[in-house]
Homo-oligomer: A and B are copies of this chain.
């Protein structure tokens, strides 16, 4: 039996992780959970999975939950300290970081230092601090197992292969709802249009990131750290059907791909049960009768400048990826509140990357300082 803790248990990845727990015939046991503001669902999850420890964002919610759950003996914590307690909870073997945003960074570091296996769904952790996380995981002998479907596909394709035989990683991208559109056509895109992803049902932030292709940019940066590949060895191919989840090219010219009907439960489960595979309840199987055609095209990096800027951030090095990610986090939240336009997202990411203070090898405090600086820069620029 594996004891797992989940950061972000009420989100899309979090709830699907709990589906996997449900289907595990008791092989997986939930010992700690964290959520943001959705205390109704966290209460429900606590009654069902009986964790020892739960965490919410605010003190008020923690107190409210304390009243609601006073018939149980669950311990309730809150804030960053609470998140860190969940991440490093002594009874857990494995942490699923399904939380969104840079808030996942410190708890993940705490989990690694407590020797928890990390199932990583929080891409900001590696995007902003891959240069800290990967050596730390190595030092503590901790596996970082990708949950993202693309990185899971790459990870699956690497099984049984020598890392030195890898020539290139090919990340597939659906292209999002605006694939094939011109810059002119993207000018007046609405929030509702941007929230309609063609293939995957995901949280709002990642759905917007998918529409701007910043999501793919973040994945490129994440892949660099996860698989130790230089950015010129990482390629993005637009594949609208999202059937091939990603590929690896080897030095003999052979390519391996992982494919299937889009279903996040597969990569989540693969990370949790790795190296074993288990059946997934009601999983839809790929039928080549129905799926009779797969298409591929090059991404248009002029229209989807958010992707191009990720490669630029990797080229710049230092804290450039932090600026890229922090700017995007802030700008997506502004777009979700309909304060800025769709094309403002890449425009102001670039602005922030140009205006932010460059730091060569940022530590955690400097990463967080970069994040704060980027927000200040953007706030004053946008609200002028």
User: How far is B292's CA from A70's CA once the two chains are assembled, in angstroms?
Assistant: 59
Q: When the two chains form their complex, are residues A283 and B253 in contact, meaning their CB atoms are under 8 A apart?
A: yes
Chain multiplicity (copies): 2
User: How far is B273's CA from A162's CA once the two chains are assembled, in angstroms?
Assistant: 13
A74 close to B (CB within 8 Å): no
A25–chain B nearest beta-carbon distance, Å: 14
User: How far is B270's CA from A162's CA once the two chains are assembled, in angstroms?
Assistant: 13
User: Which B residues are CB-close (under 8 A) to A266?
Assistant: 252-254
Residues from 71 to 121 in A contacting B, C-beta threshold 8 Å: none
Residues from 120 to 169 in A contacting B, C-beta threshold 8 Å: 156-162, 165
User: Which B residues are CB-close (under 8 A) to A252?
Assistant: 266, 269-270, 277-280, 283
A65 close to B (CB within 8 Å): no
User: How far is B181's CA from A263's CA once the two chains are assembled, in angstroms?
Assistant: 37
User: Which B residues are CB-close (under 8 A) to A250?
Assistant: 277
User: How far is B165's CA from A269's CA once the two chains are assembled, in angstroms?
Assistant: 14
A/B interface sample: 23 pairs, CB < 8 A: A160-B160, A160-B161, A161-B277, A162-B275, A250-B277, A252-B270, A252-B278, A252-B280, A253-B266, A253-B280, A253-B285, A253-B286, A254-B258, A254-B260, A254-B266, A254-B277, A255-B260, A256-B258, A256-B259, A289-B298, A292-B295, A292-B297, A293-B293
User: How far is B298's CA from A279's CA once the two chains are assembled, in angstroms?
Assistant: 26
Interface size class of A (residues with CB under 8 A): 35 or more
One of B270, B288, B294 near A254 (C-beta < 8 A): B270
User: How far is B291's CA from A161's CA once the two chains are assembled, in angstroms?
Assistant: 25
User: How far is B291's CA from A260's CA once the two chains are assembled, in angstroms?
Assistant: 20
Given A253-B283, A260-B253, A293-B296, are A159 and B161 neighbors across the interface (CB < 8 Å)?
yes
A351–chain B nearest beta-carbon distance, Å: 32
A249 close to B (CB within 8 Å): yes
Q: When the two chains form their complex, are residues A275 and B160 in contact, meaning their CB atoms are under 8 A apart?
A: yes
User: How far is B256's CA from A140's CA once the two chains are assembled, in angstroms?
Assistant: 31
Which residue of chain B has the shortest Cβ distance to A166 in the bound complex? B277
Q: When the two chains form their complex, are residues A165 and B258 in contact, meaning their CB atoms are under 8 A apart?
A: no
A214–chain B nearest beta-carbon distance, Å: 22
A276 close to B (CB within 8 Å): yes
A206 close to B (CB within 8 Å): no
Q: When the two chains form their complex, are residues A257 and B256 in contact, meaning their CB atoms are under 8 A apart?
A: yes
Given A292-B295, A293-B296, are A165 and B253 neighbors across the interface (CB < 8 Å)?
no
Q: When the two chains form their complex, are residues A159 and B162 in contact, meaning their CB atoms are under 8 A apart?
A: no
Q: When the two chains form their complex, are residues B156 and A254 in contact, meaning their CB atoms are under 8 A apart?
A: yes
A337 close to B (CB within 8 Å): no
User: How far is B253's CA from A258's CA once the two chains are assembled, in angstroms?
Assistant: 11
User: Which B residues are CB-close (under 8 A) to A256?
Assistant: 156-157, 256-259
User: How far is B258's CA from A250's CA once the two chains are assembled, in angstroms?
Assistant: 11
Q: When the two chains form their complex, are residues A277 and B251 in contact, meaning their CB atoms are under 8 A apart?
A: yes
Q: When the two chains form their complex, are residues B161 and A286 in contact, meaning their CB atoms are under 8 A apart?
A: no
Q: When the two chains form their complex, are residues B288 and A296 in contact, meaning their CB atoms are under 8 A apart?
A: yes
